[in-house]
Amino acid sequence: MKKKILTLVLMFVVFTNYAQQDAQFTQYMYNTININPAYAGSRGAMSIFALHRTQWVGIDGAPVTNTASINTPLNASNLGLGVSIINDKIGPVQENTISADLSYSIKTSTFFKLSFGVKATANLFNLDIAKLDPVQYSDPSLQNYSNFSPNIGAGLYLHSDRAYIGFSIPNFIETNRYNDNEVAIFKEKINYYLIAGYVFNFSNTVKFKPTVLTKIVEGAPLQVDLSGNFMFSNKFVLGVAYRWSASVSAMAGFQVSDGIYIGYGYDHETTQLQHYNAGSHEIFLRYEIFKNVEKMITPRFF
């Protein structure tokens, strides 16, 4: 009983005080389309991506996130198009987000392109009181609740085959997901993202890619994610990550073929939550279709 009460309190704190807001991913470097629409089509291939994340294993009602996306350049134009879906569950709350992304790229130098992107999003928020403890949902003031809200966002993405830096705001409009007596209990605030990475070629068989993601949300602590991944023989990837004052992570990946890549990540909490859960797990699959296979000498590292 104490564990259930503690779980409810901790989950409430996450929503109200720390405002996680957008779904977070340890392997964000492979999932950039969710936060930056300018990424659409930047890999020069039709890229199909699916990820499953189970957070805080062992805590009742802990977050579970599933996401899928597809993005591609449009023929020989400078345009890129993407579509993504995110399903996020935590306790009695479920959010489904569908986004469409459009990007336009211009060549800024011999090696770099600058991409501009816009994002249109539809969000459906649902509270199912049947998933609460019977003592809780017997409260007549607590009712099932659904809310639909549209949004727009934009981003910039400067990139080459070895480096990238991007800035984005996926949602320009602040929306109230859930109101209680006209008071916003859960409010989607504006999230600001800065992401960057670089690939070092240590040898013909070893590459190293450090990356950083910074997220700023009003009323929440600054979130900084740092990671470093090694790729061996263009096949195997091993890495570690650190989310500032939150968790440490281990990552692994395997390039099955030129078009198929699978990855796994494990998070260990460094907060007080570490005493009540067995960590978080992430697994993803990326499948790509290259129109110009002969130009793809080795798989891209991001």
* Domain of residue 186, residue span: 1-6+25-135+142-291
pLDDT at 299: 57
pLDDT at 180: 58
Per-residue pLDDT of the chain (302 residues; tens, 9 = 90+): 444 444 444 444 444 444 446 788 999 999 899 999 999 999 989 999 999 999 999 998 899 999 999 999 998 789 999 999 999 999 888 999 999 999 999 999 999 999 999 999 999 999 887 777 655 555 565 677 788 999 999 999 999 989 999 999 999 998 776 665 554 456 678 999 999 999 999 999 999 999 999 999 987 889 999 999 999 999 999 999 999 989 999 999 999 998 999 999 999 999 988 899 999 999 999 999 976 544 444 556 77
pLDDT at 51: 98
Residue 220 lies in a domain: yes
Residue 129 lies in a domain: yes
pLDDT at 79: 97
Residue 17 lies in a domain: no
The DSSP string of the chain is: -HHHHHHHHHHHHIIIII---S---TTGGG-GGGT-GGGTTTTSSEEEEEEEEE-STTSTT--EEEEEEEEEE-TTSSEEEEEEEEEEEETTEEEEEEEEEEEEEEE-SSS-EEEEEEEEEEEEEEE-GGGS-HHHHT-TT---EEEEEEEEEEEEEEE-SSEEEEEEES--S-EEEEEETTEEEEEE--EEEEEEEE-EE-SSSEEEEEEEEEEEETTS--EEEEEEEEEETTTEEEEEEEETTTEEEEEEEEE-SSSEEEEEEEEEE-SGGGGT---EEEEEEEEEE-S-GGG-SS----
Residue 12 lies in a domain: no
Residue 298 lies in a domain: no
The CATH number of the domain where 32 resides is what? 2.40.160.40
pLDDT at 200: 95
Residue 111 lies in a domain: yes
Residue 200 lies in a domain: yes
Q: How many domains does the chain have?
A: 1
pLDDT at 175: 79
Residue 165 lies in a domain: yes
